[in-house]
Chains A and B, each alone.
Chain A
Amino acid sequence: MSLAGTMGGHTRKPWLKRLADTSEPYLYSAPSLILIVTVMLVPLALGISYAFRDIQLLNPFSGGFIGLDHFRALGEDTAFYRALKNTLWWTGASVFLQFTFGLILALLLDKPFWGRGVVQALVFLPWAVPSFLAGLNWAWLFNPVIGPLPHWFFALGLIDQPTNLLSDPHYAMWGPILANVWWGIPFFAITLLAALQAIPRDLYEAASIDGATGLQRFTSITLPFLAPTIAITVLLRTVWISNFADLIVVMTGGGPADRTQIVASYIFTQAFRRLDFGYASAIALVLLALLMAYSMLIILLRQSLLSKD
């Protein structure tokens, strides 16, 4: 907007001043960029090269180039396919539930009421709970020795006896998902509430004067205004959650029998427990390729949404 206006004068300035002007934004961003490149991009490139090498931390004879061997092994790795399927399930259910309950919470908090400030601080609190603690906390709630949940489920007739949901191969995934929903609702509520509060109030007044019902006001004012925020947060959050292994590592470690293993936790297990950095990097590369296509979509979307404003 006004940035374009300041560009016009450049040609008439002396070259030294021009150089100083053009280098200025780079000076401001250089420290951040250097840090990102050395600590993220260089290891990323190194990690990609590991995928084609035999790198095992405890084996001094490893390190050689082995071409596509890791990927051939990966093609026959049933645990990997299960992890892929689990990732879809984990991500889909978590994002859907977090978003739905987050939107409802944002709408509830958008109305002024007595004590709203306190309520807002309390319902956003799970977001501040460190993820490892959220995982442990929910693991304890599911533990029949000290947690109430198995006894409540039993009393409701949902299960035959008060056992730990996290060790049930069929339902174990619901444990980390529930913890994730609890932990992630505030994120959606915060972003959506911010977007809701940016909607001009007079629009609603004008609409009620024209006789619009509550539902009409929601679908024709609220939703269109929220749409860009919803699109970007849901897309970004989908990528983020599909990579989010903390809760699973803490609560189930991928078990029982790999039933809760997602790709991200599988990579971590390979690197951390088996110290097989090569194989871990090969899985990571496949995950990266899958996410890359998805991420391109987000960047394009962000650009087109920003240029529309």
Chain B
Amino acid sequence: MQSGLLPTIAHRLAVLAYVVFALFPLFWLLKVSVTPNDLLYSEGVRMWPSATTFEHYAHVLRHSAFPTFFKNSVIVSGSTAVIVTLLASLSGYALSRFSFRSKYWIVALMLLTQMFPLVMLVAPIFKILSPLGLTNSLTGLVIVYSAFNVPFATFLMQSFFDGIPKDLEEAAMIDGATRFTAFRQIILPLTLPGIAATLGFVFTAAWSELLFALMLINGNDAATFPVGLLTFVSKFSVDFGQMMAAGILALIPAGFFFLLIQRYLVQGLTAGAVKG
């Protein structure tokens, strides 16, 4: 498609506007996190402070509980991502390759879990986990987050499996391999981009979860990053520099994971869509 100079300029300007809108809030977070306290109020709306400092980061890393929150969040999100991806590869494969009697009901059940308000479960889950000693524990969070993420991850993995020709494992099965061997040795390696995308999706979702973490966790020892940051905000609401430094730190793992997988994101979803 040929296009003239004017549409091209309009296109680039529109793209630029989106980039600015997407990045500005994060830029502001970064800006305040490196602004020294004495300049914070006097240079309120300046785009960049006349002097910068890393004292907020140093303080957050050395004299606060944030490193613990960070570690807790990494443990919870990492375990959830691995467990969910494992389970979702199996169930996604089942939905992609078999046509069986209750498939319709399984799909309906999984869609249902995507649609009812999870906030409904806050109270009952608390009541169930409490006598089991799973409140105020990272294990409890991992179990809850895994269940919440399995349905979507299953659909995602299904779309990746759908993009792989069935002849591949059928050929292996004619050669005498069991289906499970064919699945492990032929199909799974081909879905590595899908596995990476699912891991990233689930890690990010678990990293961001707030309401259940607030309800199930109290006290600093098992607090995840969102809980820790919100507690910090309500307690020391004037330490803006430190809060934003902590915010930037919370952004790092999720942003990193995202940049790794975002290339596969559109590709993977396209693969799912192309199959039709």
Contact = CB atoms under 8 A, between A and B. Distances in A.
A119 B230 contact: no
A151 B45 contact: yes
Interface stretch (B53-61, B109-117, B188-196): B109-117
B243 A136 contact: yes
B99 A29 contact: no
Interface residues of A, number: 100
Contacts, number: 280
Contact of A268 (B122, B179, B247): B122
B270 A198 contact: yes
Given A25-B98, A36-B110, A108-B15, A2 B166 contact: yes
B223 interface: no
B208 A130 contact: yes
Residue with the greatest number of chain A CB neighbours at <10 A, chosen from B87, B90, B117, B150: B117
A284 interface: yes
A204 B1 CA distance: 9
Interface in A87-125: 104-105, 108-109, 111, 113, 117, 119-125
A31 B120 contact: no
Interface stretch (A11-19, A76-84, A142-150, A168-176): A142-150
B255 A36 contact: no
B99 A197 contact: no
A191 B272 CA distance: 11
Interface in A243-294: 243, 245-246, 249-250, 264, 267-268, 271-272, 277, 280-281, 284-285, 287-288, 291-292
Contacts of B154: 32
Given A182-B22, A198-B274, A113 B12 contact: yes
Contact of A249 (B114, B210, B255, B263): B210
A202 to B, nearest CB: 12
Nearest to A138: B25
Interface string A2-13: 111001000000
A167 interface: no
A137 interface: yes
A199 to B, nearest CB: 10
Q: Could you tell me the dominant secondary structure of chain A's interface residues?
A: helix
Interface in A145-163: 145-148, 151-152
Interface residues of B, number: 98
A243 B273 CA distance: 27
B115 A239 contact: yes
Nearest to A189: B18
Contacts of A35: 87, 143, 146-147, 150
A25 B119 contact: no
B239 to A, nearest CB: 11
B93 A28 contact: yes
Contacts of A47: 120-121, 123-124
B233 A28 contact: no
Given A125-B255, A146-B44, A39 B273 contact: no
Nearest to A126: B22
A194 B269 contact: yes
Contacts of B225: 130
A236 interface: yes
Given A126-B22, A130-B208, A148-B45, 12 more contacts: A29-B90, A32-B150, A35-B146, A36-B147, A125-B23, A126-B26, A128-B258, A194-B269, A198-B273, A250-B210, A268-B211, A281-B120
19 contacts: A25-B94, A32-B151, A33-B109, A36-B151, A39-B125, A43-B125, A43-B128, A129-B255, A132-B230, A136-B233, A141-B25, A146-B32, A193-B266, A246-B211, A250-B210, A267-B122, A287-B120, A295-B111, A309-B276
Interface of A: 2-4, 7, 22, 24-26, 28-29, 31-33, 35-36, 38-40, 42-44, 46-47, 50, 55, 104-105, 108-109, 111, 113, 117, 119-134, 136-138, 140-141, 145-148, 151-152, 182, 185-186, 190-191, 193-195, 197-198, 204, 208, 229, 236, 239-240, 243, 245-246, 249-250, 264, 267-268, 271-272, 277, 280-281, 284-285, 287-288, 291-292, 295, 298-299, 302-303, 309
